[in-house]
Amino acid sequence: MKKKLVTIFVSMLLFTLTFSITATSGSEEDPEIEDRIRDVRFLGVFPFFPQFNFIYVDIVSAWIYEEQDNADFLYMNLKIRDLEENTEKYDAIYVISWMYDNNQYSSSVHIFPEGPTSLLSGQIDVERNDYVNFVECDGNVDDVKDIITWIIPKDAIGNPSTGLKITNIVPHTHLRYPESSGIPMLDLFKDLPWNAISTRDYIIKY
Ligand SMILES: [Ca+2]
Ligand SMILES: [Ca+2]
């Protein structure tokens, strides 16, 4: 009986290890979050069609990875159906937020008719909906691959430790009129991940 228990324990351990290895690194083909498409909603609630004018805020997926030779950084990626480097009139806001060690963090960028702002990342205060502190990150707004990448210094996001989990990974997009328009800054259109096809945590590798 004892032997059997040990066998079960060992195979569970192996399963966990195998699972961890396959689950640690996200990619475009195997993202942490896979959203549905054609699901941008008016005020974040009401579905509408056609969606053609809003494909530049339609989230496809989000994933995280790390590079062994650049291990002090986390690569956070957001894939959009058809990313544009300039909007026609709106302030388009692209965000990924997540939890680590009971704190909430976020990466964001705004794209205006004039183009994208800096890529920001840091800890956020959920109630105030604002950064507690943030850094400007390297990265890309790539309208050919339709991917936004934030290359985030780990010391700006709580120094997540090897083997620990980043949880509650939530990509979201918002479209509103820019502040300069004088029109109230209400999110007219949003894509939220509550209807995502799949979601999983990310385990820090390095
Ligand atoms: Ca979507
Ligand atoms: Ca969605």
What is the residue extent of each domain of the chain? 2-203
Question: Which residues neighbour ligand 1 (ion) by CB within 5 Å?
Answer: 35, 39, 58-59, 191
Cα–Cα distance measured from residue 189 to residue 184, given in angstroms and rounded to the nearest whole number: 14
Write down the pTM of the prediction.
Answer: 0.87
Residue 198 has pLDDT above 90, yes or no: yes
Distance 12 CA to ligand 1 centre (A): 36
For the ranges 15-24, 62-71, 151-160, the lowest mean pLDDT is seen at 15-24
Angle made by CA atoms 164, 74, 150, in degrees to the nearest 5? 140
Distance 2 CA to ligand 2 centre (A): 49
pLDDT at 187: 93
Give the closest ligand to the alpha carbon of residue 197. Answer: 2
Cα–Cα distance measured from residue 43 to residue 157, given in angstroms and rounded to the nearest whole number: 30
The model's pLDDT over 80-101, given as tens digits with 9 standing for 90+, comes to 999 999 999 999 999 999 999 9
Describe the chain by its helix, strand, coil percentages, rounded to 5.
20, 45, 35
Distance 144 CA to ligand 2 centre (A): 22
Give the closest ligand to the alpha carbon of residue 57. Answer: 1
Provide mean pLDDT across the span 8-20: 48
